[in-house]
Amino acid sequence: MLCDECKKNPACVHVTKITNNQKVERHLCEQCAQSLGEMKVSLNTSFSVHDFLKGMFSHDFMEGNHFHNEAACPNCGMTYTDFSRGGKIGCGTCYQVFADRLEPLIRRIHGTCGHTGKVPKRTGGTIEVKQRLKRLRQELERYVAHEQYEQAAKVRDEIRSLEKQLGC
């Protein structure tokens, strides 16, 4: 496919713009894309997650959400603005202090706010059983909501079995 602008070079930049529900696609070569301002060339080829997160919390983003004159973490003294500038949380307490602002961010990046990573073996499997119970209770609610009572009864029995195992 040739460039839509110069009609000489092969198109390697594909731009789709939607304005007022009108979709416009342009296929441009590298030179035309640069001259039209559709592509910015950077000599810095390294990628840093830290810089990416820092960019997400630029000053312009902060202005729109009015996070000025905010409280500081009682443990380390960090403010949300400090986090936005540096991209790193100061301590574990910051997660509770800034929970209302961090939760949407974490959900957007990870898809969830709950940690479902590895479980330490020293817990004796208790955490795994509790996590399984939590999932089963959610499953039970879905079955009841969809009036699938036979499956709900099976899940209910499994929940009772796991609760006995935990001593609940």
In order along its 168 residues, the chain shows pLDDT tens digits of 899 999 999 988 888 888 888 888 888 888 888 888 776 655 455 556 666 666 665 544 444 444 455 678 898 988 888 888 888 888 888 888 888 888 888 777 776 666 666 666 676 677 778 888 999 999 999 999 999 999 999 999 999 998 888 876
How many domains does the chain contain in total? 3
Task: Kindly state whether residue 95 falls inside one of the protein's structural domains.
Answer: yes
Do 103 and 66 lie in a common domain? yes
pTM higher than 0.85, yes or no?
A: no
**Alpha-carbon torsion, ordered 46, 47, 48, 52, to 10 deg:** 140
Task: Kindly state whether residue 29 falls inside one of the protein's structural domains.
Answer: yes
Give the structural domain span for 131.
121-166
Do 105 and 126 lie in a common domain? no
Do 8 and 35 lie in a common domain? yes
Name the token pair of 102: 């961090």
CB atoms inside a 10 Å sphere around CB 68: 10
